[in-house]
Amino acid sequence: MKPQIPKPYTPIVKALAHTLNQYRFYSSNHPISRDSLEKLARELDLYFQTKEKIIFGTMKDVLVADGETLSDKDPANADLVKAFQKANIDALTLHRGIQAQEISSFLMLLGLRVKDLEAKGGFAKVFESGSFTHIHLATGKFQLVAEG
């Protein structure tokens, strides 16, 4: 059996899920959260050396990254699917030039409890009122298309 070569977005997915979990357990200013955010920012910087953007979405309970479905057995993927579904995010695009502060603001928003989000008008409303220039939400669902 041939070993699988990691996709270029795999470290981003793992770092994004890990950082989101740290933001749920600690404040954004806690050293553990800051370290995790710095690692995520480094992974994004590496990715964006050759790419302009990365698109995430969900298809049922499966995470999709740049059009490829990712294993639903990986806890990082499952965590992001749950977070996106909780916030009603169909698709999320991160663009080159994103900085740690913008990522941090987004993760703080994504980590809010559903009750708190609803009290503020929902995720989309709070997101629109933020100053996100390198993160974009899109509507639309991913669908599995079979060839043949």
pLDDT digits (tens, 9 = 90+) for 102-129: 999 999 999 888 888 889 888 888 999 9
d(CA 55, CA 39): 19
Distance CA 45, CA 99 (A): 9
DSSP string across 8-67: TTHHHHHHHHHHHHHHHHS-TTSHHHHHHHHHHHHHHHHHTTT-SEEEEEEETTEEEETT
61-116: per-residue pLDDT in tens? Answer: 899 999 888 888 889 999 999 999 989 898 999 999 999 999 999 999 998 888 88
Position 2 confidence tier, pLDDT thresholds 50, 70, 90: very low
- Averaged pLDDT score across all residues of the chain: 88
